[in-house]
């Protein structure tokens, strides 16, 4: 999950806490990144490159 924009660092921490918790369960994993000062298009390009490597589609969600 790549998060962009104001407050993205805090949102990344919240998502990590919800999904990963204390890290004791190895099946609870999510790769998250935050990009407070990067243009959306640059981050989208990064995720699309990862999509091609992993064969997972990118899904854009705006809040």
* Domains of the chain, residue spans: 2-54
Please tell me the predicted confidence (pLDDT) of residue 54: 67
Q: Evaluate whether 37 touches 8 at the Cβ level (below 8 Å).
A: no
Please tell me the predicted confidence (pLDDT) of residue 61: 83
Farthest-apart Cα atoms in the chain, separation: 35
Give the integer Cα–Cα distance in Å for 5 and 24: 30
- Model pLDDT for residues 13-61, shown as the tens digit of each residue: 999 999 998 889 988 888 889 999 999 999 998 888 876 666 777 788 8
């Amino acid at each position: 999950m790549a998060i962009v924009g104001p407050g993205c660092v805090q949102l990344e921490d919240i998502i990590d806490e919800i999904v990963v918790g204390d890290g004791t369960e190895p099946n609870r994993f999510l790769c998250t990144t935050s990009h407070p000062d990067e243009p959306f298009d640059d981050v989208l390009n990064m995720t699309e490159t990862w999509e091609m490597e992993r064969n997972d589609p990118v899904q854009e969600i705006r809040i």
